[in-house]
Amino acid sequence: MNTRDTSHLASLSPFELKDELIKLAGSVSNRLMLNAGRGNPNFLATTPRHGFWQLGLFAMVESERSFSYLAEGVGGFPRRAGIEERFDLFARSHSDVPGVKFLANAVSFVRDQLGLDGGDFLYEMCAGILACSYPVPDRMLKLSEEIVKQYIRKEMIGCHPFGGDFDLYAVEGGTAAMTYLFNSMKINHLLRAGDVIALGKPIFTPYIEIPELSEFGLTELAIDADGANGWQYPEKELDKLRDPKVKAFFLVNPSNPPSVKVCDKSLEYLASIVKDRPDLILLTDDVYGTFADNFVSLFALCPRNTLLVYSYSKYFGATGWRLGVIAADKSNVFDEKIAQLPQEERDSLNRRYASITTEPEKLPFIDRIVADSRTVALNHTAGLSTPQQVQMVLFSLFSLMDTAENYKNAMKRLIRGRKAALYRGMGAAPGEVDENVVDYYTLLDVEHMSREVGPDFVKWLLASIKPHEMLFRLAEETGVVLLPGKGFGTQHPSGRVSLANLNEQDYVKIGQCVRRLRDEYLERYRQQHGGAAESS
């Protein structure tokens, strides 16, 4: 049995270790590599993409109405006057073209359900998709923000009572949101070097790695979810947040990699802690919330304290588009904390933002994030590219108009069918149905997978395997690539399986490979212990 020494790779991020695993998995010619290591889905939403391309064609017709006397292919800006009537003619004459009916329905929905002006909407979309102007406002296009707000309300707040209002900043996906937030929280003294921040673990690896960088120098405190209790946070873990030394709590909800949403009881308990800790900063990354049943974000319960990050990447199969938003309540603790800084620090920040506003002390934190993303001096060219914002709006409208949630239900069936296939290949049951389990990923925990064999075997296995040994053996011997759960802050050796990027039969094969490897270790244990354990 190959026992490759992988201890020197233990410090690598899972996403860097992935490259080493892929090399091994691809080292055997004429063998299919099954890469379940990365969460890039192999499905995508087609209807709003068809709408995007047809909108582009209409926008080009609008542009070519100007400067048509020039033969050199010159167009102009679309014109607001009469644009809705011209679009109606375009839609009727192209009614059988995929995407056109969706666009016509979208205009009707924006006008008749959201109460926005249909002509203003079309004008913003046409100018946006032509990319002929800088993003204005730079934080997010005006009507685009109103439409995406409705999407966020539907998917992140749902039926939870929520009477407030919030601002959005359109960003280049969730990764840009993280980068901008950490940077602006440091610049505005919301987090300082040495501050303690709590991380809900397991968690997306960059949330572990970024605070440790020298430019931030933050101290991390783990809030550990209990794998034996459905990956929920025990109250004794959440009670760590009552310590005033803890300045912030960052979590991914539903979690990555267990892919479990925080249960209602824990959300309520968190909200009760925030009542006792009104100064606590919360950051929730809810990218997988759209795959959950009846999802409610922590932002809905604690809007004043919470920054919400949402990305369109996974749900709409749009990782290449780089689409995300940061949401902040209009009345929030971040602005209050900045207003309470020592005078010297407030004066310094006022000087920093003085070039973009005559009243820098009143500049909201979310607008400071925008400015800081362009080192302030380039604030006039800030903002997500307008075609990206247009596609974000079309994705949002696609979801808002799908009142029967046909797309959402199809996505749930797809990934949950893949999980069943994985466990079928392992010869195991996927476990009891848990309404909080989302199944975008699943975590194959060495301890949990081997528990039915017996505690002695589990103890022996955990003591015998080297760091990442099983993952490297899977890659080298079978061509299967999984990411190490340890890199996401799990307590025991495990592998993260993405259920989004392969086909159902591939997951059967992965399950079979995992089972064979586990049984090989079991046979080795039997030889050493006289057949003490029995295979399940």
* pLDDT 10s digits, 237-293: 999 999 999 999 999 999 988 899 999 999 999 999 999 999 999 999 999 999 998
End-to-end Cα spacing for the chain: 22
Structure tokens at 318: 């749009």
The pLDDT of residue 1 is: 46
The pLDDT of residue 489 is: 60
Cβ-based burial of 76 (10 A; exposed 0-12, middle 13-18, buried ≥19): middle
Structure tokens at 488: 């996401």
Give me the helices (H) in 173-309, please.
Answer: 173-187, 205-209, 235-238, 264-276, 298-301
CA 446 – CA 456 distance, rounded (Å): 13
Q: Give tens-digit pLDDT for 76-116.
A: 999 999 999 999 999 999 999 999 999 999 999 999 999 99
pLDDT band, residue 479 (cuts 50/70/90): confident
Q: What predicted TM-score, i.e. pTM, was given to this entire model?
A: 0.92
Q: At what angle do helices 118-130 and 83-93 cross, to 10 degrees?
A: 80
pLDDT band, residue 6 (cuts 50/70/90): low
The full set of domains in the chain, from first to last, is: 8-39+406-528 (3.90.1150.10), 46-133 (1.10.20.110), 144-400 (3.40.640.10)
Amino acid letter at 429? A
Comparing 30-39, 434-443, 498-507, 513-522, the range with the smallest average pLDDT is 30-39
Mean pLDDT score of the chain, rounded to an integer?
Answer: 91
The pLDDT of residue 9 is: 59
Picking from 125, 107, 119, the residue whose alpha carbon sits closest to that of residue 59 is 125
Residue 475 has pLDDT above 70, yes or no: yes
Share of the chain above pLDDT 90, in %: 69
Distances 516 to 215, 237, 481, 483, 524 between C-alpha atoms, Å: 45, 36, 15, 19, 12
**Mean of pLDDT values over 486-507:** 80
Residue 225 has pLDDT above 80, yes or no: yes
CA 478 – CA 468 distance, rounded (Å): 15
Q: How many CB atoms lie within 10 A of CB 39?
A: 22
Q: Give tens-digit pLDDT for 377-425.
A: 999 999 999 999 999 999 999 999 999 999 999 999 999 999 999 999 9
Share of the chain above pLDDT 70, in %: 91
- The residue with tokens 């060495």 is 446
Amino acid letter at 521? Y
Those residues whose C-beta lies under 8 Å from the C-beta of residue 201, and which sit 6 or more positions away, are 208, 222, 223, 224, 225, 488, 489, 490
CA 311 – CA 313 distance, rounded (Å): 5
Q: Is 267 left (phi over 0), alpha (psi -120 to 50) or beta?
A: alpha
